Structure 1
Amino acid sequence: MARLNIISVGKFKNSPLKVVFDDYKKQLKSSLDLIELDVKTSLSEDKEVRKIKEGEAILEKISKDTFIVILDERGKEFKSIHFASEIEKILNNNSSITFVIGGADGLCDKIKDMANLKISFGIMTWPHMMVRVMLIEQIFRAFSILNNHPYHRE
């Protein structure tokens, strides 16, 4: 069974976004082992210090043998069908994928530099909690495509 980790800065509080996230996570249970790992938001007043502190906490949660995918506005954009084939290709060559979502200020350079792949959901700015939902929906869509499930339509 495929293993995916989602490391995110900030805690998902009870909200409509969490309900949607949890619904997709539940539907994915039979296809993959999905682990959510939250990192505390830094309270530093300095933006760069916040990113560095959050980056250090993220590093502690990344295993050495995983393929690292970060979400970044300057990352590569994929059509859903190509994202699915990219996930399949990565999992054929790696034991797991770790997706990393930064906080409100983004990710520090150290995390960006160690990423195997940088992806983007477009050039618009999205709330990082919303990005979690967008990511898990695309993961669900990718596994639907790979399993010939009719969820995805072209």
Structure 2
Amino acid sequence: MTTQTTPSNPNSIKTRFTYRFVQALRKLNKTRSVSVSPSMKETYRRYHMIRVASYASMASAVGSRRAWSRTVLWKIRNRTLHRTLKKKGKIHALRRRKVRENPRNSLNFHRENDLKKLVPGGEGMDFCRLLNETAHYIKCLRTQVQIMNNIVDHCSN
């Protein structure tokens, strides 16, 4: 098993993401409560904080050039509003699932609409721009996973 190092180019997205994410993890580690066995609530809270730090680091590394990164940063800044909308969205998503289970509706796939829901900020995009944003978003998600794997490999050695 070989571990990859971050690129030496300080302007690359990988380097900027790694630097920001490691800083965010250090900050989270300083605020960690000391307990022998953390509760499920505390474990979930830390998981959520790491997840938010990861997405914020990734979006800020990309900057405001991409619609998905602007949307992610906006959602993080407006977290309370986003939580309210997310709860409403879950109820709506459950209703959609029931409709999709109908065999007559299973033939009508609206892939473009599904893609617009997956990519942050994709709701108002035309199809060509949506594909471009999706490709970049997937590339950044892959980078995020690689960096996180490298951090785990480094810490486990």
Rg comparison, structure with higher value: 2
Scaled to the shorter chain, the TM-score interval is under 0.3
Taking CA–CA contacts closer than 8 Å with sequence separation of 6 or more, which of the two structures ends up with the larger relative contact order? 1
TM-score (norm 2): 0.25
More helix by share: 2
